Chain A
Amino acid sequence: MDIIKTDNLTKKFNGFTAVDHVSFSVKKGEIFGFLGPNGAGKTTTIKMLTTLLNPTEGTAEVAGFNILKDKDRVRQNIGIVFQEPAIDTELTGRENLDFHARMYGMTKEKRKQRVSDVLQLVDLADKKDVLVKKYSGGMKRRLELARGLMHLPTVLFLDEPTLGLDAQTRRAIWEYIENMNKEEQTTIFLTTHYMDEADYLCDRVGIIDHGKILVIDSTGNLKSAVGNDVITLSCTNRKRLEEKLTEQPWIKNIKPHNSSLTLGVERGEEKIPAVIEIARKLNITINAISVRKPTLDDVFLSFTGRTIRDEEPEHPLKQLARIRSRRGSS
């Protein structure tokens, strides 16, 4: 059963197309991830699916309800953790959850029960009566995750759930997300620009860039499409070697970087001698060569032609808005 189904979902801002005819579906119970660099259209997609923005074109169904015609029913069935923190820091953790529960029309008994359940799930039970302004960044994030689950949503949206958190906290958040998915059978839709996050958490991943979905598949399939092994090498005359290697049938794909080449192959360790031999014949010196298992980084590179770290500059207006909001809140 499809929990989310979009049909040519499109959003334009003053002529700039943030999301461009996106169609995909998310199955019940899975963890689905949108992977892409900043400004790829991930947050805009989430905002449309959660009824905060109206699409310019196309439509979508979330939990069986149309995001345009049945906003209230959609809202009742979703939980969301925004990219930027969205908690009232002048209230305690418990009060924030209680506020949320009442906004979702939960009865008193249910409210009490759920507050203690979700606090348990994210290990915040002992901090529930502390003002949120005294929480650490990781604790705030955990509280937001708990709040997203308060009203037993069918699907939970997580927009960059671990942005700006340290490695240890990220790991912990991942475990909470996995628990939520398993224990509460919540379908999870998340966006991220961290490869390791998508790799660790997601059953299926959609790679999105410039508002378009380039590919959707399970992380395993995506990686084996690149080749079971990836050979990375750096050498003197890269261009010349690349031309020669392109002729070899056993190389699944080949991508040049600034100073190195990556080759997708089967049984990589057996192919290294062949590569060296080809280079030697061309009088090219190989400075370094290694073989490893492919990562989502390689997948991303093979679909977009660049690594996710070569981020393009932010949209100027968005950057301005960010600077303004920082200045205002300080």
Chain B
Amino acid sequence: MNVKELQAIYVMWLRQMKRFIRARSRIVATIIQPIFFLFILGAGFNRAAIPGITGPYILFLAPGIVTMAILFSSMFAGVSVLWDKQFGFLQEVLVAPVSRLSIIIGRTLGGATTALIQGFFILVIALVLGVQVSSAFGLLLAVAMMILTAFTAVGFGLILASKLNDFQGFPLIMNLIIMPLFFLSSAFFPLEALPSWAKTVAMVNPLFYMVDGVRGSLTGMNFTLDPLINLGVLLVICIVVVILGSYFFSKSEA
């Protein structure tokens, strides 16, 4: 990879950062929503004794909300290639003497960065609210999983963007696929409460590994699988999705 390609990756990333910083209302909206979840759900269920949860509910909830913030905003960053398609800007990018791979890398890095900024913001708030980190290694592990989550979700967004022609299908996919998967990810409640078929579904649900992994490594409590297993599974999922996303994107015509 030569200097020209690196410069292209950098400028694709830079463009996303500039757009991110300028879209203040969007930042506020995407940060406020998880904060509401954290405060309202956290406070509402704080005294409730939910079977399968040890410690205060906020400890259980916070990792799920951090994951949610990253997940949704990365996916949106990936899908937002659709805007470029509709506003014609994608043509300007595709006609440049730069490999498709560099364009995808730049785009993915940009989307993941903006999502991680939001994720870390929520994480800091959670820490302020009293969530305690189990160990330095645990924190490191959690950060690694947040990064993998971001890349996976951007990749998934890119696949959606190459398959959809406009934004009309996006809410449908969010409500019909992503929301149920998120509810079945153990973000809000432990899976033990669910019937056994739902537990089986959870095992093929990538979102479960994200939430369980971040929770296990960050708080060291209430997790189902060993964080390192989650990390491994997430790594595989991430690689597959990013490769698929790149493939579909490179096939799409402006």
Seen from chain A, the residues whose Cβ lies within 8 Å of a Cβ on chain B are 50-53, 72-73, 75-76, 78, 80, 82, 84-91, 95, 98-100, 102-105, 147, 324-325, 327-329
Contacts and interface: CB of A to CB of B under 8 A. Distances in A.
B19 A324 contact: no
A191 B137 CA distance: 62
A103 B5 CA distance: 8
Interface size grouping (class) on chain B: 20 to 34
Of B88, B90, B165, B254, most buried by chain A (CB within 10 Å of CB) is: B88
Contacts of B92: 82, 86-87, 100, 147
Contacts of B23: 90
Nearest to B106: A103
B167 interface: yes
A52 B95 contact: yes
- Report, nearest first, the 5 A-B pairs whose CB atoms are least far apart: A86-B88, A105-B4, A328-B166, A75-B97, A102-B11
B93 interface: yes
29 contacts: A52-B253, A52-B254, A73-B97, A76-B97, A78-B95, A80-B95, A82-B88, A82-B92, A85-B87, A85-B88, A86-B91, A86-B92, A87-B88, A87-B89, A88-B87, A90-B23, A98-B11, A100-B96, A102-B8, A102-B10, A103-B11, A103-B93, A105-B3, A105-B7, A105-B8, A147-B92, A325-B86, A328-B86, A329-B87
Contacts, number: 80
Given A52-B95, A105-B7, A88 B167 contact: no
A75 B95 CA distance: 6
A89 B96 contact: no
Contacts of B22: 90
Contacts of A82: 88, 91-92
Given A104-B96, A328-B166, 15 more contacts: A75-B97, A82-B88, A84-B88, A86-B90, A88-B15, A90-B22, A99-B14, A99-B15, A100-B92, A100-B96, A104-B97, A105-B97, A325-B86, A325-B166, A328-B167
Contacts of A90: 18-19, 22-23
B96 A75 contact: yes
B73 to A, nearest CB: 17
A72 B97 contact: yes
Nearest to B15: A99
Contacts of A104: 96-97
B111 to A, nearest CB: 15
B166 A324 contact: yes
